[in-house]
Amino acid sequence: MLLDVHAHPPAMWGTNDAKNVEDMERAYLDGLARFDVRAVVSQLRPGPGAPADPSASSEPALSLPKGQALAAWERPHAGNAYIADLVRRYPDRLIGYCTTHPGYTTQALAEFELRLIKQRDLFAAVKLHSLAFCDDPLYDPLMEFCAAYDVPVLQHTWKQVGPEGPGSGNFPFEATPERLLALAKRHPKVKFFGGHGGGDWEWGLAAYKQVDNIWLDMGGGEAIYGFMDLALRALGPSRIVFGTDIWGRSIPSQVSRIVACELPDAQLEDMLWRNAVDVLADRLPESWREHFNQ
């Protein structure tokens, strides 16, 4: 059994041609079933059939004719609509992350209420990426919502080395582990998954071990460099959760990082599914909870 806390549907990267998406979805679900994976999925851009945004602007496209482009906050919300449809079709394997734009508080909180309260059977948690630095006060109303309703948050984190040192190669507004640490300290009641281990795990571990409300999402990357050994020494098996970043990485490549660890089976299972079940708790569908606790 596997619980993947960091997954994306095929339409995240593939073309939006209906037949192509249908074929990719079928292959995707076949793969999840083959490895007995249940996955929490997010669509960070509009899904198939959504209006295009030719400007790709971070500002609302209010001056353009209706249907020609999507406002900045509408883009992730269109992705949520696709996730809702996908989960309705594959409830035994998929549950959704709700994503939004933190720069539009009214719209963001309305989307949270829709997806995380009214559609609780379709959405388990929140996924946030790089539309503002994650320690920006813009996030505070969203985190207060998550604390009030016990909604976990997967935050993308990365530390890309550039010409001016670690972090200088990041793209605009990309969260570093230190920024997630600052957010987690400010909102201690919120449970966070630190996406990708921070990119550079040494920096991620140095940040995440300072608090008890960040779990290291180990998805994305290769089973080399001794990263798992570092993580086990810094956090222990109770603070590591399984993720793939599929289609960014494959299920077998990410499973291998855990099963290669020389640990008792019970601790391997903690990392493969039990820790994530504990964090997501009753945000998961009841049938999933029964499956994992059988």
Residue 116 sits in a domain of what CATH number?
3.20.20.140
Query: How many domains, the chain?
Result: 1
Token pair listed for 229: 């050994």
The closest alpha carbon to 39, from 222, 223, 202, 241, belongs to: 241
User: In whole angstroms, what is the distance from residue 66 CA to residue 248 CA?
Assistant: 33
Write the CA distances from 253 to 71, 237, 249, integer angstroms.
37, 19, 7
Q: pTM for this structure?
A: 0.91
Asked if residue 11 is part of any domain, the answer here is yes
Question: Which residues of the chain register pLDDT less than 50?
Answer: 53-67
Q: Which amino acid is at 154?
A: L
What pLDDT, on a 0 to 100 scale, did the predictor assign at position 93? 97
Write the CA distances from 207 to 128, 130, 175, 183, integer angstroms.
18, 19, 12, 11
Asked if residue 190 is part of any domain, the answer here is yes
Would you give the distance in Å from CA 1 to the centre of its chain? 19
> What residue numbers bound the domain in which 114 lies?
2-52+69-292
What pLDDT, on a 0 to 100 scale, did the predictor assign at position 163? 77
- Tell me the residue length of the chain: 294
Token pair listed for 65: 């004719």
Asked if residue 64 is part of any domain, the answer here is no
Under DSSP, the state recorded for 135 is: T
Asked if residue 138 is part of any domain, the answer here is yes
Asked if residue 219 is part of any domain, the answer here is yes
Asked if residue 157 is part of any domain, the answer here is yes
pLDDT tens digits along 240-288: 999 999 877 889 989 999 999 999 999 999 999 999 999 999 999 999 9
Which residue stretches of the chain are H helix?
Answer: 18-34, 74-89, 105-112, 140-149, 177-186, 201-208, 227-234, 251-259, 265-269, 275-280, 286-292
What pLDDT, on a 0 to 100 scale, did the predictor assign at position 223? 62
What pLDDT, on a 0 to 100 scale, did the predictor assign at position 5? 98
Would you give the distance in Å from CA 148 to the centre of its chain? 20
Please, are residues 154 and 184 in contact by the beta-carbon 8 Å criterion? no
Asked if residue 61 is part of any domain, the answer here is no
Asked if residue 107 is part of any domain, the answer here is yes
